Structure 1
Amino acid sequence: MDLGITTRLNTGFDDAIAKTRAALQEQGFGVLTEIDMQATLKAKIGAEMEPYVILGACNPQLAHRAVGVDRQIGLLLPCNVLVRADGDEVVVEAMNPRLMVEVTNEPGLESVAAEATTRLQAAIDALA
């Protein structure tokens, strides 16, 4: 199983983040957190790395349904979406929601994972 749903963009890094946020919003996801790994690692341990941002995306309706099935599922929420530089391209990757089902082995999460996958795939497809 793939860990993520991925696309590659030929655009600037900041533009890719803005477009990703907009595409997620169109699919009912809000961005709850934004972690700038490049800045954080530089500040905390002096490490250099390419631009790399983790967006913590959440669709409240899907999150509510998932938590209703398994209270521990919050350990896997929100859905992480990476925006990272890779040479001249920017890679955008969304967590594969099927991981929720695989990790928990909870059949009640199947429909939530399926809908989340459809919405995240649509957001990623909108970027291409």
Structure 2
Amino acid sequence: MSYTLDKRVDGAFHDVVEQTIDALADEDFGILSDIDVQQTFAEKLDEEYRQYRILGACNPPLAKQALDEELQVGALLPCNVVVYETDDGEVGVSAVDAEVMLSVVENDDLDDIAAEVHERFERVLETLPAA
């Protein structure tokens, strides 16, 4: 079972990052964190790594609904979306599959929220130009 929704995207890496952030905003997700893995590995490990960004996306109303149902679910937030350089030099975008992620909580009250996040992330990926 896959735990991400994935798409190969046409465009330059930094452009795809911006397009992804814009598409997330269109679905009412803000970016709480933006981790540049390539830069972090260079600074902390003195090693080169492919371009790789982890975007911590949050839709506050959906996050509040989830926290109201299961307080500890905050350990699974925010929902991560990654933009990365693939092995063949293309750009990939992967979003966590909220339905899979929240299934570990075993709280049926989260199912509708997970489905809503899943659908919104599918729409985000649909808006990005396919490679």
Asked whether the two chains share a fold, i.e. TM above 0.5, the reply is yes
Deviation by residue 1:9-49 (Cα, 9 ceiling, x = unmatched): 12100000000000000011001100000000110011211
Report the number of matched residues: 128
State the superposition RMSD in angstroms: 0.9
- Show the counterpart of 1:126: 127
1:126 partner letter: T
TM-score (norm 1): 0.96
1:32 partner letter: L
Q: Percent identity?
A: 38
Deviation by residue 1:77-111 (Cα, 9 ceiling, x = unmatched): 00000000013310000000013432111101000
- Show the counterpart of 1:112: 113
- 1:88 is paired with a residue of what secondary structure? coil
- Show the counterpart of 1:49: 49
- Show the counterpart of 1:2: 2
Q: Distance in 1 between matches of 2:77 and 2:101?
A: 9
- Show the counterpart of 2:98: 97
1:19 partner letter: Q
Gaps spanning 5+ residues in structure 2: where? Answer: none
2:100 partner letter: L
The runs of 4+ residues in structure 1 deviating greater than 3 Å are none
Q: Distance in 2 between matches of 1:93 and 1:100?
A: 14
